[in-house]
Chains A and B, each alone.
Chain A
Amino acid sequence: DAGVTQSPTHLIKTRGQQVTLRCSPKSGHDTVSWYQQALGQGPQFIFQYYEEEERQRGNFPDRFSGHQFPNYSSELNVNALLLGDSALYLCASSKYPGGNSPLHFGNGTRLTVT
């Protein structure tokens, strides 16, 4: 039973560029959330997708956008990269959108912006 998978594992980009991160949820899960974790801090909620729609959003600018596909996989896009976007980006999946089931995380994508 595959868990949450993310790609790529590491990425180096230059300021101003755009990046796309990918996530496949755990088998049987239909809800995908994205979190940003800066060094030494706890993860921060970016947004959540269910039934191919953004259901909730955290306090992140419009440069951060996402998509969910019919097979429940998801992408996170970040435009006009800033140095401050350097972080570990974590994808998490769950079975219901209502917060009634535990969240399972992937191993993350470490993004470095130079």
Chain B
Amino acid sequence: GIQVEQSPPDLILQEGANSTLRCNFSDSVNNLQWFHQNPWGQLINLFYIPSGTKQNGRLSATTVATERYSLLYISSSQTTDSGVYFCAVDPPREAAGNKLTFGGGTRVLVKP
């Protein structure tokens, strides 16, 4: 099946710093989504981004489907940005979609 690799595995930031998280995938995809899992386990959908660039406040994401990678940018990080960021992809298929394969995640800690 498709392989999803995220880097770096761990990231420690000082509050106010900017950072870039990367997601590489091994095959073409039908869609790509970024999620944030907070320390209480809640998984929040950040972006649905099969291609192109999207922005939502201090977060933005870019997916270059032809080169099989996506980037998540965090600007002016805050302590509430701490948690694990997951990239998940849905390979194209004949049947129903949203059978997501998740990467291993990037664990982010933002220090005050």
**Segment touching B, from A11-19, A72-80, A100-108:** A100-108
Q: Are A105 and B103 in contact (CB-based, < 8 A)?
A: no
Looking at the assembled complex, report how far the CB atom of A95 sits from the nearest CB atom of chain B, in whole angstroms: 10
Q: Are B86 and A42 in contact (CB-based, < 8 A)?
A: yes
**Which B residues are in CB contact (< 8 Å) with A55?**
95-96
Interface string of B93-111 (1 = CB under 8 A from A): 0011111111111000000
Q: Are B30 and A99 in contact (CB-based, < 8 A)?
A: yes
- Closest residue of chain A to B103 (Cβ to Cβ) is A42
Judged by a CB distance under 8 angstroms, whether B74 is at the interface is no
Judged by a CB distance under 8 angstroms, whether B33 is at the interface is yes
Interface residues on B, range: 20 to 34
Interface size on A, residues (CB 8 A): 29
Looking at the assembled complex, report how far the CB atom of B95 sits from the nearest CB atom of chain A, in whole angstroms: 6
**Which B residues are in CB contact (< 8 Å) with A98?**
96-98
Residue from B35, B42, B45, B105 within 8 A of A107 (CB atoms):
B42
Chain A interface main SS type: strand
Contact sample, A vs B, 20 pairs, CB 8 Å cutoff: A41-B104, A41-B105, A42-B86, A42-B105, A43-B86, A43-B88, A48-B98, A92-B98, A98-B98, A99-B96, A99-B98, A99-B99, A102-B48, A103-B98, A104-B45, A105-B42, A105-B43, A107-B41, A108-B41, A110-B41
Q: Which B residues have a C-beta under 8 Å from some C-beta of A? A: 30-31, 33, 35, 40-45, 48, 86, 88, 90, 95-105
